[in-house]
Amino acid sequence: MKPPLKIAIAGLGTVGSGVLQLLDRQADVLTQRAGRRIVVAAVSARDRRRDRGTDLSAVRWYEDAAAMAADPEIDVVVELIGGTEGIARGVVETALDRGKHVVTANKALIADNGTKLAALAEKKGLVLSFEAAVAGGIPVIKGLREGLVGNRLERVYGILNGTSNYILTTMRESAHEFAEVLAEAQKLGYAEADPSFDIDGIDAAHKLAILASVGFGRPVDLAGVYAEGIRHITRLDIDFAEELGYRIKLLGIARLTEEGLEQRVHPCMVPRATPIAAVEGVYNGVVAEGDFVGRVVLQGRGAGAFPTASAVAADLIDIAAGRHVPSFGVPAGNLRELPGVPIERHQGAYYIRLMVVDQPGVIADVAAALRDEQVSMESMIQRGRAPGEAVPVVMTTHVTVEAAMRRALARIEALDTVLEPPRMIRIEDF
């Protein structure tokens, strides 16, 4: 049997503790599958007294994670600190400079610096792996990079943030509004004290940028991802979506068009019969559409200590067994530049909700604004009568260009009879 693979873990928080426990409990299985033992030789964390669920008495502790990454006895550095700059990036760059493979769960680091780090790893003949950076325990990176390598992908999309999916699911099931459900999610530990990273689509944008790079063989382009969150979604929208045959989901979508690559994160109305509509609660789901395979659906836990540890272990097994592939499926120098398609050029159908004064002529004025921008209305819902009072009006449109839709909404918002900014949700034809 080969000599043990010696690893060092930087960061022993929730995920780091999960990795330690998995490596301990599954040691025999991992050894059999890797053809060698995987040994935790060193760790770096701020608090040595905290219980991590396994015995660390024989492991070398480092106060300086970068110094640990330079330890000549280490074969692989596992970076679980997080963040795009500072110590996390320093640990990864030091490890690669010193000839060590790197496994990371750091989505922000890969989304910001993944192409450069992959090029550095390849130059050194090393592996940079990040299965755990996207969708927790779902093997989506390996699925796209290796399992679907015989396909040209047309679209990759999914629920990439469990917090937002939990909020939208609970709003529908509980009849509560966004603020109430968010507060409950924070109490349960599903949402951070500052939830903006999750509910504003930033977390999903990082993950989508990585998926788009792996799926379409292009450099990571976080700046090219349009991101919009779920703060404006109301119970009213969720109820109307159900009536129209849809579910509202925060999705990340990468789609190849004749103009280039769309990368967008935003709330979507998706038909209730589609697989992605059935992914509920804190779960993630990813769908890939290839020219030969058709539609592939992956679903599972997108976060948490053990699901993420499972993904880290998969990368470690590959390294231990000598299975090396380029980080993004092709060498970094061969990643092709694809033009990005700005959100204004997106073409699709739309759901629009207005709050208007119930009086004659209002719908005619709204219809005129849509007509002048060549936006065609498909359906409209207006119930009851409340002369002189505020009433909701919901419309869906046929496929149109987003820039035209936005111009029409700006004109509608300027009408005296429209009492609040129009709410728009994109409808996807999955």
pLDDT tens digit string along 183-211?
A: 999 998 888 889 999 999 999 999 999 99
Same domain, 110 and 158: no
292 and 173 in one domain? yes
Q: How does residue 390 score in pLDDT terms, banded at 50, 70 and 90?
A: confident
User: Per the domain annotation, does 325 fall within a domain?
Assistant: yes
Q: How far apart are CA 407 and CA 287, in angstroms?
A: 32
Report pLDDT for 349: 98
Catalytic residue numbers read 207
Q: In the structure, what pLDDT confidence band is assigned to residue 53 with cuts at 50, 70 and 90?
A: confident
Q: What tens digit of pLDDT does each residue of 276-333 get?
A: 999 999 999 999 999 999 999 999 998 889 999 999 999 999 999 999 999 999 999 9
Domain housing 116: 5-137+321-334
386 pLDDT above the threshold of 80: no
Query: Which of 83-92, 223-232, 371-380, 409-418 bottoms out in mean pLDDT, i.e. has the lowest?
Result: 83-92
Q: Does a structural domain hold residue 312?
A: no
The span from the CA of 395 to the CA of 352, in Å, is: 5
End-to-end CA distance of the chain: 49
Confidence category of residue 58, pLDDT binned at 50, 70, 90? confident
Number of domains the chain contains = 3
> Which run of H or of E encompasses 267?
strand 261-271
Cα 420 to chain centroid distance, Å, stands at 31
Residue 339 lies in a domain: no
Predicted local distance difference test score (pLDDT) of residue 1:
72
Confidence of residue 51 (pLDDT cuts 50, 70, 90): confident
Instruction: Identify whether residues 122 and 147 lie together within a single domain.
Output: no
| Confidence at residue 108, expressed as pLDDT on a 0 to 100 scale | 96
Does 145 share its domain with 288? yes
The CATH number given to whatever domain includes residue 382 is: 3.30.70.260
380/236 Cα distance (integer angstroms): 15
Determine the Cα–Cα distance for residues 284 and 169; give it in Å rounded to an integer: 12
Shared-domain flag, residues 149 and 294: yes
Q: Name the pTM for this structure.
A: 0.95
Please give the Cα distance from 95 to 332 (Å, whole number). Answer: 19
Q: What is the CATH number of the domain that holds 150?
A: 3.30.360.10
Identify the bridge partners of residue 426 per DSSP, sorted by sequence position.
Answer: 268, 350
- DSSP sequence for 202-229: HHHHHHHHHHHHHHHT----GGG-EE--
Q: How far, in Å, are 33, 243, 327 from residue 26 at the CA level?
A: 11, 48, 26
Q: What is the CATH number of the domain that holds 100?
A: 3.40.50.720
